[in-house]
């Protein structure tokens, strides 16, 4: 196990392996999606799907749209 710093929110988290921590290198699903959203904004500005700014339900819907 090692302590890593989330590349999105800079929070520290412990990492053992990718099976126990599927969101690596991020601390959470939210941080992974935020990073994905930023990447999408930079790469596919034409698509222009707005990032959800609400709670878990919005994020769940967003994740469905991402096909993940």
Q: Which is nearer to Zn ion, 25 or 40 (CB)?
A: 25
Here's the x/- map for Zn ion, 6-35, by CB under 5 A: it reads as x-xx-x---------------x---x----
Q: Which token pair is 5?
A: 């710093």
Nearer Cβ to Zn ion, position 3 or 46? 3
Peptide bond into 53 cis (omega under 30): no
Please, what is the minimum distance in Å from the beta carbon of residue 59 to Zn ion? 14
């Amino acid at each position: 196990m090692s302590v890593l710093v989330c590349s999105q929110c800079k929070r520290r988290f412990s990492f053992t392996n990718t099976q126990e921590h599927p969101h690596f290198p991020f601390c959470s699903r939210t941080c992974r999606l935020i990073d994905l959203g930023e990447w999408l904004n930079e790469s596919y500005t034409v698509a222009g799907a707005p990032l959800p700014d609400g709670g878990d339900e919005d994020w769940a819907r967003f994740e469905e749209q991402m096909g993940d």
